[in-house]
Amino acid sequence: MLPVAYKCYDAGDNVTRRFYGEVDLNNNGVYRISDSRNMFVVIGCNTLSYTQNGNSGGSNTHYSGLFYTGCVSYCNDSRSAQDGRCAGVGCCHVDISPGLTDNVVSFGPWTRGFQVDFSPCDYSFLVDKNEYEFRSADLKMDLNRTMPV
């Protein structure tokens, strides 16, 4: 089970709580999260999130991670997100990169606005593809929730 990363806001668009879901399975990269069995899921309204893995080892690249993947979800109103649908409205998902050995999540700096009433937090997590189906109630997910990989 892996933790769900989150970033929560108040009505003034101030961050009230955050957890980036850091997971380091091991320093040697021996244990990996299966890219064929798992996916990266982002839940929220007006939410951009991505996960990165690895370190460039000081190379001259702009990015510190070797692998990046993520997606964007949006909601027009509290009725937009539909149970069982994870295609960009309230929820999105993407495949993960092969060789994933750790997980650090980042959230984009989008403003929340009126969505904070029905979607007060952004969430993202790695999960077994067969173990998660989006529910609109997940827009107010328990912050202590974990997901199977």
Q: Is residue 39 part of a domain?
A: yes
pTM, rounded to two decimals: 0.88
Decide: helix, strand or coil at residue 133: coil
120: buried, middle or exposed (CB in 10 Å: 19+, 13-18, 0-12)?
Answer: buried
Q: Is residue 125 part of a domain?
A: yes
Q: Which residue has the tokens 């998660």?
A: 132
Residue whose C-alpha is closest to residue 46's, from 1, 89, 100, 86: 89
Q: Is residue 149 part of a domain?
A: no
Q: What is the pLDDT of residues 94-143, one digit of tens each?
A: 998 887 767 778 998 888 788 899 999 999 999 999 999 999 999 999 99
pLDDT at 54: 59
- Does residue 148 surpass a pLDDT of 60? yes
pLDDT at 113: 80
pLDDT at 61: 46
Q: Is residue 83 part of a domain?
A: yes
Segment of 26-30, 34-38, 53-57, 81-85 carrying the highest mean pLDDT: 81-85
Q: Is residue 57 part of a domain?
A: yes
Helix (H) or strand (E) holding 123: strand 121-128
Q: What are phi and psi of 116, to 5 degrees?
A: -60, -25
> Count of domains in the chain?
1
Residues 39-67, mean pLDDT to the nearest whole number:
73
Structure tokens of 91?
Answer: 């929820």
- Give residue 16's domain range: 2-143
**How high does pLDDT run on average in the chain?**
86
Q: Is residue 32 part of a domain?
A: yes
Q: Is residue 69 part of a domain?
A: yes
CA 134, 101, 20, 112 torsion: positive or negative?
negative
Q: How confident is the model at residue 33 (pLDDT cuts 50, 70, 90)?
A: confident
